[in-house]
C-alpha cells in the first residue's frame, strides 16, 4: 500500500490516507465533497421553516447561514468529509414492550462518535501535518444528509433519511469540515426510491409528505423526544403504534433495509432494560433508577418525566383501542 501511495500526487495521497483512517476507526463509509454554499438546500430549509414544520424546535431557526455555508463553521473550508456508522442491532425488543428507536438501544451516539471524530482529526494531523477542521455529529448546524449525498454515499429517501444501496439507512452520519484540499467523490445522482411509497403509507401520524418533505411537528420522534415538559396533543391519541421513544416505522418498512447488517460497535450493545422493560415496569421505574440505568443513553434526553408521559400516553392508546375493539 505504501508503494501505491508514493505513486500518487499529494492530493490523492491525502484522500487515500483519510479513507484508510476512517475505515480503521470503524466507519462503514467515507465520502468527500467540495465545501461550498448549499444554495438549493437553503431555499428548501427556508420554505420548511416558513411552514412551521419544525414545531417547537426553535433551534432549527438559529445559525441559518452556518447550516448552508461550511466556511462559516471552518474559515477557509475546502472539503467536507462525511462518515457513516452503522447502528442496526443484532437483537430486537421483546414483543408488546414500549418501543424504543434502534438508535437509542446502546450508549449515546453523540459521545461515542464524537470521541472517534477527535481521534480521526488527530490521526489526520499526525499523517499530514497542520490541518484545520471541525467534526460534527448531529449537534451543530450542519446539513449532514445533503453532504452525504454530495459525497456519493447514497440518496435522500422520501422519509428524509439517507439511504445506501448496500446497507439501507440505519446509520449515524458524522461530518468533518476541513481546509484540506482533497479529491472529491461524485455526488450520488440517482434516486432508487422509484414509485415506492411504503414509508409515506406506513407513517402512523402522516408526517411524511410528497416531494421528500417531512413535517417534523407531526413526527412521533418529535412528540416523544423534543416536547419534553409539554403535553402530547390529544389528537395524536391512538396514532403512536406503541412507540415510547422515537420511531423507526419509516425505516422498518423501507425495502432497502432488508440489506441492513448488525453493527459490531460494542458501545451500541443494547441496554438490557431497553429490550425487555414492560409497560408496567416502565411506569414503576423511579427517577433515581431511570437516571442510573439511562445516564449514558440517548433516552436520558427525554428525562424521566418525559418517558413517564410517553408510556402513559401509549398505554391510554392501548386501553382506548381495547375499549373500542381495535
Does residue 286 lie in a domain region? yes
Taking phi first (over 0 means left), then psi (-120 to 50 degrees means alpha), and beta for anything else, what does residue 183 get?
Answer: beta
Whether 324 maps to a domain, the answer reads: no
**Does 326 map to a domain?**
no
Read off the pLDDT of residues 45-78 as tens digits, 9 standing for 90 and up.
888 888 788 777 766 767 788 888 999 999 999 9
Residue 162: half-sphere exposure toward Cβ, Cα within 13 Å: 27
- pLDDT, tens only, 224-271: 998 876 788 888 989 999 999 999 999 999 999 999 999 999 999 999
**Residue-number span of the structural domain to which 49 is assigned:** 1-318
Q: Is residue 291 part of a domain?
A: yes
Please list the pLDDT of the chain residue by residue as tens digits (326 residues): 444 455 678 999 999 999 999 999 999 999 999 999 988 888 888 888 887 887 777 667 677 888 889 999 999 999 999 999 999 999 999 888 999 999 999 999 999 999 999 999 999 999 999 999 999 998 777 889 999 999 999 999 999 999 999 999 999 999 999 999 999 999 999 999 999 999 999 999 999 998 889 999 999 999 999 887 678 888 898 999 999 999 999 999 999 999 999 999 999 999 999 999 999 999 999 999 999 999 999 999 999 999 999 999 998 765 544 432 23
C-alpha distances in Å from residue 104, one per residue of 287, 296, 304: 19, 10, 15
| Spatial distance between the Cα atoms of 19 and 4, rounded to a whole number of angstroms | 14
Looking at 69, 138, 179, 296, which residue is catalytic?
138
For residues 184 and 79, is the Cβ–Cβ distance under 8 A?
yes
Among 4, 39, 15, 21, which residue's Cα sits nearest to residue 185? 15
Cα–Cα nearest to 269, from 95, 96, 104, 84: 104
Instruction: Report the predicted TM-score, pTM, of the whole model to 2 decimal places.
Output: 0.90
Residue 23 lies in a domain: yes
The structural domain count of the chain equals 1
Q: Is 241 designated active site? A: no
Residue 325 counted as domain residue: no
Name beta bridge partners: 83. Answer: 30, 174
What residues are paired with 214 via a beta bridge? 208
Which ranges of 64-213 would DSSP assign to H, the alpha helix?
64-68, 109-128, 144-150, 198-202
Per-residue buried b or exposed e for 42-74, using 16+ beta carbons within 10 Å of the residue's own CB: bebbeebeeeebbbeeeebeeeeeebbbbbbbb
Amino acid at each position: 500500500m505504501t508503494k501505491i501511495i508514493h505513486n500518487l500526487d499529494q492530493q490523492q495521497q491525502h484522500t487515500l490516507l483519510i479513507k484508510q483512517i476512517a475505515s480503521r476507526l470503524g466507519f462503514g463509509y467515507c465520502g468527500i465533497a467540495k465545501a461550498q454554499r448549499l444554495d438549493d438546500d437553503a431555499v428548501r430549509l427556508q420554505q420548511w421553516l416558513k411552514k412551521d414544520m419544525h414545531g417547537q424546535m426553535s433551534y432549527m431557526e438559529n445559525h441559518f447561514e452556518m447550516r448552508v455555508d461550511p466556511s462559516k463553521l471552518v474559515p477557509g473550508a475546502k472539503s467536507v468529509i462525511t462518515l457513516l456508522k452503522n447502528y442496526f442491532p443484532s437483537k430486537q425488543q421483546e414483543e408488546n414492550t414500549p418501543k424504543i428507536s434502534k438508535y437509542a438501544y446502546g450508549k449515546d451516539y453523540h459521545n461515542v462518535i464524537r470521541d472517534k471524530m477527535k481521534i480521526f482529526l488527530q490521526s489526520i494531523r499526525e499523517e499530514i501535518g497542520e490541518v484545520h477542521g471541525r467534526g460534527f455529529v448531529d449537534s451543530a448546524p450542519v446539513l449532514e444528509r445533503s453532504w452525504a449525498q454530495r459525497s456519493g454515499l447514497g440518496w435522500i429517501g422520501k422519509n428524509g433519511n439517507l439511504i445506501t444501496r448496500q446497507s439501507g439507512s440505519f446509520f449515524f452520519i458524522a461530518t468533518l469540515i476541513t481546509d484540506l484540499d482533497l479529491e472529491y467523490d461524485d455526488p450520488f445522482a440517482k434516486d432508487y426510491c422509484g414509485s415506492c411509497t411504503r414509508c409515506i403509507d406506513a407513517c402512523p401520524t402522516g408526517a411524511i409528505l410528497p416531494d421528500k418533505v417531512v413535517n417534523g411537528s407531526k413526527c412521533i420522534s418529535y412528540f416523544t423526544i423534543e416536547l419534553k415538559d409539554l403535553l402530547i396533543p390529544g389528537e395524536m391519541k391512538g396514532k403512536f403504534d406503541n412507540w415510547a421513544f422515537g420511531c423507526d416505522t419509516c425505516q422498518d418498512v423501507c425495502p432497502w433495509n432488508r440489506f441492513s447488517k448488525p453493527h459490531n460497535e460494542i458501545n451500541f450493545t443494547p441496554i438490557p432494560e431497553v429490550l425487555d422493560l414492560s409497560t408496567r415496569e416502565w411506569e414503576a421505574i423511579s427517577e433515581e433508577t431511570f437516571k442510573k440505568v439511562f445516564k449514558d443513553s440517548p433516552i436520558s434526553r427525554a428525562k424521566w418525566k418525559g418517558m413517564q408521559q410517553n408510556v402513559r400516553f401509549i398505554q391510554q392508546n392501548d386501553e382506548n383501542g381495547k375499549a373500542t375493539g381495535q
